[in-house]
Structure 1
Amino acid sequence: MPALAQPEPPHLPHLPHLPLDGLLRRAAERAPGAPALRVGDRTLSFGELDARADRIAAYLECSVGRRGARVGIANTLDADFAAAYYGTVRSGNTVVLLNPLVSPTRLGKVLASAGAELAVVPRTTAALLADPGDRPPCLSLVLVTGAGDGPVPGDTVPLDLVLDAVAAAARCAPSGEPAAFDPDAEVCVQFTTGTTGRPKGVRLTHRNLVANAAQTATAHRLGADSVTLNHLPLHLPMHLNSAVYAGACQVLCPDPEPLASLALAESTGATHYYGLPARLHRLAADERLHGAPLPGVPAGPRLTAVLSGGSALAPDAARVLAERLGVPVLQGYGLAELSPLTHSQTPDRPAPGSVGAPVPGTECRVVDPGTGVPLGPGETGEVQVRGPQLMAGYLGEGGPPVAEGGWFSTGDVGRIGPDGQLFLVDRLGDVFLHDGELVSPSAVERVLGSDPRVAECAVVGWPDAVHGSVTWAGIVLRDAGAGPAVLEEIAARANTRLAPFERIRRVEAIDAVPRTPVGKPVRGELRATVRSRAAAEASA
C-alpha cells in the first residue's frame, strides 16, 4: 500500500523573537491591568505577575550569582509557581519542574539527577526537605511558598520574606529591551512520568516552549478575551504559557471535586475548561450532573469547549459531557519531549475517538515499528512527530533520538485517518500478541468500561505458551461485595463485542488501577505481577 500522502502542516503563526519570560513581559506591557491569574479570592494582573517575576529574578541573580544553574520549582496550582517559573528563566537559570504529588524518594532523585541548587516548594513539600541531612547534596536552599500562615518547617525560608527584602533594596526595577538570548538555550527540565520505564529529564528551550505556546493558543482558539479554567492537579507550563501568549486569564481550581469546578467555570465566565480524563470520567458518571436545577450546569454561556489530555477519555464519557454541557469535548495528545502538545481536536473538525490533527507547524506520520517504513492510510504502526517543539535532548545524553529527517518516535501506536486526524491505539510497550494478532489493552478497557458494573479496569497480556499471550482483565467493581459470578458475566458480555483474539480469558477483581499522581494508568506494575504469577503457574 502506498505511503500516506501528508497534507501540508497547518500554518504556524509568526513567532515573536522573545525569550520564554518575554511572553509575560509582552502581556504586561500590552495590558498591565488585565487579569492573568485567579485562584480563590486572589486575582493577579499581568503587571503584578511580571513585577513578582522581576523580584524573583533579582533574588536569583544575587543568591545564585551566575547563569545556568537549575532551580527546582513545584508546579502547584498557585500564582507563586507562575512567578517563580518566569522569574527563574528571566534570571538566566533553568526551571526543574517538581511534581509535589510524588513520593519523597522520587522527589530527591529528581532534584539530585537535575543538580538543582535551590528549590521553591509549598509547605508540605518543604517539610520533606526541611532537614539538610535529607536533602540531595546539591540543594543548598529551600524557599517556601504560601508561608504566610505560620512558621516554615526546619531549615527553610519563606519566599515572601526574601522577595520583600529584594523589593526594599530596590533591586527589581524592570529592565528595558530584552537582552540578547539564545533561543536554543535550555530553560526548563521536565521529567517524564515513568509509566513505561525510568523517568527521564527532558531538556526544553526558549524556542520549544514559545513555539508550543503559540501552537496551543492557535489550536485551542485562545485570545485576550479568553478565560481558561484549569482543573488539573498541577499547574502545567503548557496551559500557563499558552494563556500568557494569548493574554488570556487563567482561573486555577485546586478543588478536585468536578461539580465544584463547573460552578467555578460558571461564576468566572470561563471560555475553556481543561480537565483530567480521570476526573472527567467521574463527572460523566455523576448522577448529579443529570439533575436539575444544578448550579454550574450547563457550565456558563461563555464556555466554548472542554479540553482533555494526558490519557484517553472514553468516547462515551465525552458524548455524555458534550450533551449535558452543550459544548464540544475535545481530546489532545502530546509528550513531555514535545513541549508537550502535538495534536488537538478543534470544534470545527470533530473526529470522535481521535486526538485530532497536528497543531500548527507540526508533522505526523505512522511507520512500521520494525523497519521504520512509512505506512499507508489507516494502517497501524508507531507514531512519529517532528516540529519546532521537539526537545533539545535528555539530561545526561546528547541531542534528541530522531530518525532520518528529524522524526521523533513517540512509542505510541496509532493510525492516521484520511483527513490527517490521529487515532491512538496504545503504547508500544503495552500492546501484546495473541496468535500473531495485535491486542490493544485500551480497546478492551473501553469495552469493559461501558458496563455499568465496572468502576474502572486495566488489561494486560497473560503469557501463554500456545497463543503467546491471552487477555487478562483486572476490574474494580462498583459493588465491592459482588462475587466471582458477576466478574464472569462482565467478561462474557464484553467478549460478545470483542474480536476472537481480543477476548478476555482471565478476569479478577482488583482494589484499584495503579496510576501516576496525575491519573495515568501504570500498566507496568500489573504486567510484572501477572508475568510473575504466570511463571509460577507454569512451573507448578
Structure 2
Amino acid sequence: MNTVNFVTIPASIVPDQEIVVFEQRRLNYAQLSDTISRFCAVFKQMGLKPGDVVAALDTNSDRYVASYYAAAKAGLTFLPLNYRAKEQELEYMINTAGTKTLLVGDRYQELVARIRPRLVVKDTLSLGEDGATMKRLAELAQTVEPEESEAEVDDDDVSVLMYTSGTTSLPKGVMLRYRDFTAYVTANVEMADGSDRGVALVCVPFYHIAGTTAMMTNIWTGRRLVIMPQFEPKTWLKLVERERVTHAFVVPTMMKMLLDDPSFTKTDLSSLTNLAYGGAPMPIQVIRRAIEMFPKNVGFVNAYGQTETTSSLTVLGPEDHRIEGTPEEIELKLKRLNSIGRPLPDVEIRVRDEDGNFLPPGQVGEICIRTPRIMKGYAGREDDAALPDGWRATGDLGWVDEEGYVFFAGRKDDMIIRGGENIAPAEIETVLMSHPGVEECAVIGVPSVEWGQTVKAFVVPRKGATLDRAELIDFCRKRLASFKCPETIDFIDELPKNPLGKILRKELRKSA
C-alpha cells in the first residue's frame, strides 16, 4: 500500500490524538494529515509527476516528516540526504538520482547556493523559516487547497532512494519500495486504535534507515513521536524526563555520551521501558555499563540490520540483557550479550563459505539473509538485489550458534589473511575489550612480505589506565591462537568514526 496510509488511516480513526512533537510545535493526526495534503498540493502545482525524485537536505523536523509523506501521497520518490556529506558527495547523490526538487533546511542554504550551478535540480524550496533566497514550503502550503486524492502506486514502485554511508567508496543508492516498508512496519507494530502506545524519542537522522523506519512505525502504531533535530545528550535526557518517553533508539556513540553526561544521574528516566541500539557494534563495556546505570525497568534491544533490507534483521531482546541467574546462566547471558540476537519472524539467516556452501553452527562465514523486504536493487544496478535462490549476501562475516543466536565478526572486506589463515578482527577486538585498561580498540591487517598480512591493533586506553604493549600482547596470547594475536599495537586518543559510530578502518590503514 502507499505509505501515506501510515498517517491517513490512523487519522481517520483517532484524528485528535497527538502524534508529532518538534520543539514548540505539537501536531495531532488531523493536523499532520492536513500539512501532508498541502505539501502534496504544492508538489503537484510545481509540476512534479509520479516517479519524480524530491530530495531533502535538513536535520530532523516535523516538516521533514510531512514532506516524506507528501511525496508518497503524490507518488514521488523521496531522497533523504546525509547532511554530513561533503559537497562532492551531495552533488553525486542529487545528480545521479535525477532530483527534480530539493528541499533545504536553513543551515544548508549557503551550501546549496554554492553547488547549485552544478546540480540538475529544477527547483529548490526552503524547508525551514528562511525564505530570503528560496520560497518556503510551509508558506506555499498555506496558499493551496489540501490535495485530497492519493496517487495510485504499485507496491513495487520506489518510495525511498536512500544512499549508503559510503565509508569505503562512493555512496550507493538503495531503492526501497512501498511494499518493503509496508512489510516491515505492519509485521512489527499494530495499527493505532486510540490505546496508549507510549512516547518515542527519535534522535537518529531521518536519512538513516533506522530514523526512517522509526518515523513510520511509531506514527502507524500511535506512539507519540518526539523529534530531535540532532542528538545532544543533555537535551535527550531532558526530553525523556519532560515528555515521559517510553521508547528510544541510539547508536553506540550516543549511548556512551549519555552515560558520561554529568546530568545522567540527576535525570528522571523512570518512564523509559524500551531502549534499542544499533547502527554499529556496541562495545561490551558500554552496554554492561548501561544495563547497570539505567533504571531496572528499561528493556534493552540490540538491533542489527541494513539499509538494503529495510532495517532490522535480528534482535537481541530485553531478556537476554538481564544478567542474572545461576553462575552458568550468567556466563551464558554474557556470551550472548556479544551477539546480535536472533532473526525476526520474517527473516531467515544462514552462513555461507566462499564457495556458497551453507556452514554448520559455530563456523565463520558470510552472513546471508532471505526476507520479503530486500531492496529492489541499487540505482542503476537492479541486478544486485539478491542471489538467484533469493538469498542476499550481506558483506558481513559471522556465525550462528546452536540456539540460533547470530554473532557478528566484522565486514568481509576487513578480513585479515595471514599466511593463508582467515582472521576476523571482531574476535581479537572482543578479547582486547575484555582488558580492564582498554576503552576502545580496532584491529586491521597490515602488509607483510613474509605472511601477506599481519595483525595490528589500535587501542584507546581507559582514562587513568597505564597500558604496556608487551603485557597487552601477552594478554591476547593467553586467549587467542598465536597467529591471531596482534604483532603491533598503537595507543591512540580516539578512533576515527563516521557519525553513526562505525569505525573508519580505511583511515587506520592510511596511518598504519
Q: TM-score scaled by structure 1?
A: 0.84
| Distance change (3 Å), C-alpha of 1:223 and 1:202 | farther
CA distance in 1, matches of 2:498, 2:481: 30
Hey, what does 1:270 align to over in structure 2?
Answer: 245
Asked if structure 2 preserves the Cα contact closer than 8 Å seen for 1:23 and 1:244, the reply is yes
Asked if structure 1 preserves the Cα contact closer than 8 Å seen for 2:215 and 2:225, the reply is yes
CA distance in 2, matches of 1:217, 1:260: 27
Hey, what does 2:415 align to over in structure 1?
Answer: 431
Hey, what does 1:389 align to over in structure 2?
Answer: 373
1:507 aligns with 2:477: no
CA distance in 1, matches of 2:424, 2:195: 38
* 1:143 CA displacement: 1.4
Identity %: 27
* 1:288 CA displacement: 6.2
1:61 aligns with 2:35: no
* 1:436 CA displacement: 3.5
1:82 aligns with 2:65: yes
* 1:518 CA displacement: 2.5
Instruction: Output the amino acid matched with 2:399.
Output: R
Instruction: Output the amino acid matched with 1:67.
Output: P
CA distance in 2, matches of 1:437, 1:330: 34
Written as runs of structure 1 = structure 2, the 5 A alignment for 1:114-513 is 114-131=97-114, 134-147=116-129, 150-152=130-132, 154=133, 156-166=134-144, 170=145, 172-175=146-149, 180-217=152-189, 225-234=197-206, 236-254=211-229, 256-285=231-260, 289=264, 291=265, 294-296=266-268, 299-300=269-270, 302-325=271-294, 326=296, 327-348=298-319, 351-368=336-353, 370-451=354-435, 453-477=437-461, 486=468, 490-510=472-492, 512-513=494-495
Asked if structure 1 preserves the Cα contact closer than 8 Å seen for 2:376 and 2:385, the reply is no
Deviation track 1:235-272 (CA, whole Å, cap 9, x = no partner) reads 62111111122121111234633354233212212221
Deviation track 1:316-371 (CA, whole Å, cap 9, x = no partner) reads 22122122212232211111111122112223455422212222312111111x11
Deviation track 1:16-73 (CA, whole Å, cap 9, x = no partner) reads xx21111111121121121222122322222211111111111111103422110111
What secondary structure, in the 3-state scheme, does the structure 2 residue paired with 1:405 have?
coil
Written as runs of structure 1 = structure 2, the 5 A alignment for 1:90-105 is 90-105=73-88
| Distance change (3 Å), C-alpha of 1:30 and 1:138 | same
CA distance in 2, matches of 1:459, 1:36: 44
CA distance in 2, matches of 1:468, 1:173: 63
Instruction: Output the amino acid matched with 1:474.
Output: F
Written as runs of structure 1 = structure 2, the 5 A alignment for 1:14-33 is 18-33=1-16
What secondary structure, in the 3-state scheme, does the structure 2 residue paired with 1:402 have?
coil
Instruction: Output the amino acid matched with 2:508.
Output: L
CA distance in 1, matches of 2:46, 2:305: 36
Deviation track 1:493-526 (CA, whole Å, cap 9, x = no partner) reads 4554444222221122445422223322121232
1:521 aligns with 2:493: no
* 1:478 CA displacement: 5.7
Asked if structure 1 preserves the Cα contact closer than 8 Å seen for 2:446 and 2:455, the reply is yes
| Unmatched 5+ stretches in structure 1 | 1-17, 531-540
Deviation track 1:76-95 (CA, whole Å, cap 9, x = no partner) reads 22111100001011111100
Cα RMSD of the aligned pairs, angstroms, is: 2.6
CA distance in 2, matches of 1:19, 1:255: 28
Q: How many residues are aligned here? A: 490
CA distance in 2, matches of 1:186, 1:353: 36
What secondary structure, in the 3-state scheme, does the structure 2 residue paired with 1:195 have?
coil
CA distance in 2, matches of 1:23, 1:521: 35
| Distance change (3 Å), C-alpha of 1:487 and 1:162 | farther
CA distance in 1, matches of 2:437, 2:360: 39
What secondary structure, in the 3-state scheme, does the structure 1 residue paired with 2:113 have?
coil
Deviation track 1:369-407 (CA, whole Å, cap 9, x = no partner) reads x11111112221111111121111111122444223210
CA distance in 1, matches of 2:170, 2:506: 11
What secondary structure, in the 3-state scheme, does the structure 1 residue paired with 2:382 have?
coil
CA distance in 2, matches of 1:260, 1:497: 42
Asked if structure 1 preserves the Cα contact closer than 8 Å seen for 2:284 and 2:433, the reply is no
Asked if structure 2 preserves the Cα contact closer than 8 Å seen for 1:215 and 1:359, the reply is no
Asked if structure 2 preserves the Cα contact closer than 8 Å seen for 1:488 and 1:507, the reply is no
Larger RCO (alpha carbons 8 Å, 6+ apart): 1
Q: TM-score scaled by structure 2?
A: 0.88
Hey, what does 1:10 align to over in structure 2?
Answer: none
| Distance change (3 Å), C-alpha of 1:214 and 1:528 | farther
Hey, what does 1:5 align to over in structure 2?
Answer: none
CA distance in 2, matches of 1:408, 1:390: 8
Asked if structure 2 preserves the Cα contact closer than 8 Å seen for 1:255 and 1:261, the reply is no
CA distance in 2, matches of 1:35, 1:392: 34
Instruction: Output the amino acid matched with 1:20.
Output: T
* 1:473 CA displacement: 1.9
CA distance in 1, matches of 2:113, 2:470: 51
Instruction: Output the amino acid matched with 1:37.
Output: V
Asked if structure 2 preserves the Cα contact closer than 8 Å seen for 1:224 and 1:246, the reply is no
Instruction: Output the amino acid matched with 2:220.
Output: Y
Asked if structure 2 preserves the Cα contact closer than 8 Å seen for 1:102 and 1:517, the reply is no
Asked if structure 2 preserves the Cα contact closer than 8 Å seen for 1:414 and 1:423, the reply is yes
CA distance in 2, matches of 1:173, 1:92: 13
CA distance in 1, matches of 2:151, 2:261: 52
Instruction: Output the amino acid matched with 2:276.
Output: L
| Distance change (3 Å), C-alpha of 1:223 and 1:197 | farther
